[in-house]
Chain A
Amino acid sequence: MNLDFSDDQKYLQEEARKFFEKEGGLGNARNVMDQSQDADHELWNKIVELGWTAIRVPEAYEGLGLGHLELCVVAEELGRSLAPVPFASSVYFFTEALIKYASEDTKKELLPKLVTGEVVGTYGIAEDSHQATEANIQVNASADKLNGTKIAVPDAGMASHMIVVAKSSQGIELRLVDLQDSSIIVTPQKNIDTSKSFYKVEFNNTPSTLLGQSGEGWNYIQHLLDQAAVLFAFEQVGGSQAALDMAKAYSLERFAFGRQIGSYQAIKHKLADMYIAITLAKSNCYYGAWALSSESSELSLAAATARVSATKAFQLCSKENIQTHGGNGFTWEYDCHLFYKRSKVLSVLLGSEATWKEKLVQNLEKTNTLVKE
């Protein structure tokens, strides 16, 4: 039994944590918010220099050719520091889509540039305020042309390329587009977490390239979502732990009625519940990491479990961190709101908690063996 990361992976995580601390920690997310930027470009460039965008890119395309476990440990640290960079869009999603479904020519063209940072990728799924389904996708692919509008597209201002879920006469397809094409209109959309940026992306007879098989796009996107859900869950666990650490530090320094507020059971039990939620989420993440890295048929169940568990943990920890801080927690000055906002954005970014619970139960309906040991 070895449900743990290797020493090398733990070392990478340690290095990642030190890196984000040295580069300003939560200050980066705050700067992006206060200065209305789309992301921290300087931080992103340093991440590219460290080689993290190369982690999953095979060596044949000038990458490092490492597994998903290396991404998991980096994700936890991105989450802990709320790093305002397009890592999730470009690495968890776009890069994985190319590795898995792109033609040899596309891989040769784009993967080396993802390594060097010349290419930054993102993805578009949602079109309105309904859960995207195989039936309601409206963006249309006909021959090589795309028409229609995606919303809530992360990082599209910074991205050079995008994967689009579209429908064609063959069914759902994944299409790759170059965002520099003049037919595309990219408009920023306001959102509740301004340390992240989201966009409306309109396609008008935009040239596009089919990824993989036509008609298989819905299966592809589900698989990509499952993979990304595990990595997002690690980010959520990292954020949860940071929120708990912050609540704990404050409960030790703040006095009320002549004693540290952390000596009151009302606060202690609140923090203990946060610890319990994080521990469950983290263990579910390890299960997800195992399923992801071993390409297990349990990935869909494991991803949904990690995702739901981590979403619950981050929402609990971020709201109770504010509560522990009292009035200070509601000010712009204190960092509590950074976690609160990020937890909400992460909880809907890949589809809502309800969507993932439904996915979890659909998996349970299919399986007969469960928590057996």
Chain B
Amino acid sequence: MDFNDTPEQAKFRATCREWLEANAQLKADKVHMNVESSLENHLKTAKEWQQKKYDAGWAMLHWPKEFGGIEASPIERIIWGQEEAKFNVPGGIFEIGLGMCGPVMMQYSTEEQKNRYLAPMAQGKEIWCQLFSEPAAGSDVAGLRSKAEKDGDDWIINGQKVWTSGAHYSDFGILVVRHDPDLAKHKGLTFFFVDMKSPGITVKPIKQITGQSGSGSGFNEVYFDDVRIPDSQRLGEIGDGWKVAITTLMNERLAVGDARGADIEEALTLSKTKDDAGETLIKNDAVRERLADWFCDANGLKYTKFRTISALSKGEAPGPEASITKIVSANKLQSIGNFGIDSGDMAGMLIDDDSGMSSFQGAWLGAPGLRIAGGTDEILRNVIAERVLGLPQDPRADKGLAFKDIPTKA
């Protein structure tokens, strides 16, 4: 039992580190909230950084060599991620493309399409998004109802997508739609990729409870009005949309990790420095008990991650333990955010950049979204119960019905 790299891993880490030091700046300190720069500036620096990484071979480590990757092992991706995270570099723009859209294109598109799309994706020249969720299809995403109708060699798409990260600055997107409502829910779906500049597509940023909209990788609604997609942009067979989507969603579940933000460190620092009636908060028994609980959760998650990395490091498949990460971290974030605001008493609600309260307010406002995005707490509990513990699925009221006959309203 140790926390050391193997000699090969240490060598790989040193290579990562050397390149990063030559090309980026170390973070002075842990930064939780990105300082808001304009979207254009953020995109520009993100694209430049991506191109730089591409030129040096760091852009998409896990991709096959034929598409410009180095077929890095999972542990090498983790090492690169750990090292890159120590540097002040832009992120959050290309993850969906490189993590989900790229692999789907590799598996299902034609040679010609692979040659056309994969390199610009990896170079950061073209940004991709994922168009799955709909207003009436969230956790039950296979219940989506955007329509695809065949018209000669084209398909005509009508409907609405929602919660599409980065749609407002994306060049392309992957899309699941319903080509036949007479078939059962999962059978009537077909998968495409689409040019986001196509006539008939309207992108509207969603204003979130944080008050933000469209900043960073913000969410959008995407409307399709008679959008024409050539059949050549279909990925997989007609009716295979669910199968293709599942492959992509598996990648999303891997990509969605910790809920980042105020954590036990911030709670502890606050408790040691902030006073209440002349005594630091940490002297309060109620605070002490909560610190102990958060530490057990934070430390438990940290070493859960280490167990996963240890398995990968030995070339073994990791156990299912990583499935607890988001549910535990998002709830802890909400609880710590709440604690921080409470610590300010009546002033806790006031927004004042100098009060030290903003990271707790940010955590408290952002946490409800993190408990939903990438699988709600409830869906994740179902996933643990069904896939890890092997319990049966709930009986489904829509089983065996044609999609058009599935009850939707009382």
Residues of A within 8 A of B (CB): 1-5, 69, 244, 248, 251-252, 259-260, 262-265, 267-269, 271-273, 275-276, 279-284, 286-287, 289-290, 293-294, 305, 308-309, 312, 354, 357-358, 360-361, 364-365, 370-373
Contacts and interface: CB of A to CB of B under 8 A. Distances in A.
A370 B324 contact: no
B1 interface: yes
B385 A2 contact: no
A308 B296 contact: yes
Contacts of B141: none
Given A290-B1, A370-B265, 11 more contacts: A2-B314, A4-B311, A248-B390, A263-B392, A268-B381, A268-B391, A271-B389, A283-B307, A358-B288, A360-B296, A361-B292
Contacts of A265: 378, 381-382, 394
A354 B392 CA distance: 38
Contacts of B268: 364, 370
Contacts of B182: none
28 contacts: A2-B3, A252-B391, A262-B392, A263-B392, A264-B394, A265-B378, A268-B382, A268-B385, A268-B389, A269-B378, A271-B389, A272-B384, A276-B324, A276-B384, A282-B321, A283-B301, A283-B306, A286-B1, A290-B1, A308-B292, A309-B296, A309-B300, A360-B292, A364-B291, A370-B265, A370-B268, A371-B265, A371-B298
A361 B282 contact: yes
A27 B195 CA distance: 66
B217 interface: no
B299 interface: yes
Nearest to A69: B1
Contacts of B395: 259, 263
Most buried by A among B296, B382, B386: B296
A286 B378 CA distance: 28
A365 B272 contact: yes
A275 B388 contact: yes
A276 B381 CA distance: 9
B327 A276 contact: yes
Contact of B313 (A1, A279, A290, A305): A1
Contacts of A289: 1
A240 to B, nearest CB: 13
Contacts of B382: 265, 268-269, 272
A82 to B, nearest CB: 22
A282 B303 CA distance: 9
A321 B263 CA distance: 32
Interface string B367-386: 00000000000101110111
Given A268-B386, A276-B327, A361-B288, A3 B1 contact: yes
A6 B98 CA distance: 36
Given A276-B384, A283-B300, A357 B4 contact: no
Most buried by B among A1, A275, A289: A1
Most buried by A among B9, B300, B388: B300
Contact of A371 (B263, B304, B384): B263
Contacts of B390: 248
B40 interface: no
Interface string B78-92: 000010000000000
A362 to B, nearest CB: 9
A3 B3 CA distance: 7
A93 B292 CA distance: 25
A244 B390 CA distance: 12
A286 B303 contact: yes
Interface residues of B, number: 54
B153 interface: no
Given A1-B5, A370-B264, A273 B392 contact: no
Nearest to A312: B296
Nearest to B291: A361
Contacts of B38: none
Contacts of B313: 1-2
Interface string B116-152: 0000000000000000000000000000000000000
A55 to B, nearest CB: 16
Q: Provide the main secondary structure of the chain B interface.
A: helix
Contacts of A305: 295-296, 299-300
B11 to A, nearest CB: 15
Contacts of A357: 288-289, 292-293
Contacts of A269: 378, 381-382, 385
B302 interface: yes
A5 B282 CA distance: 36
Contacts of A361: 282, 288, 291-292
B384 A263 contact: no
Contact of B303 (A69, A251, A273, A283): A283
Nearest to B75: A1
A4 B1 contact: yes
Interface string B298-337: 1111111011011101100000010010011000000000
B123 to A, nearest CB: 30
Interface string B386-410: 1011111111000000000000000
B2 interface: yes
B310 A2 contact: yes
Interface in B247-270: 263-265, 268
B273 to A, nearest CB: 12
A4 B310 contact: yes
Nearest to B311: A4
B240 interface: no
Contact of A272 (B5, B296, B321, B389): B389
Q: Which among B304, B311, B389 has the highest number of chain A CB atoms within 10 Å?
A: B389
Interface string B221-257: 0000000000000000000000000000000000000
Given A268-B385, A371-B263, A371-B264, A248 B3 contact: no
Contacts of B292: 308, 357-358, 360-361
A268 B389 CA distance: 9
B296 A364 contact: no
Given A3-B3, A280-B328, A371-B265, A286 B307 contact: yes
Interface string B47-87: 00000000000000000000000000000000000100000
Interface string B191-214: 000000000000000000000000
A262 B296 CA distance: 29
Contacts of B324: 275-276, 279-280
A281 B395 CA distance: 32
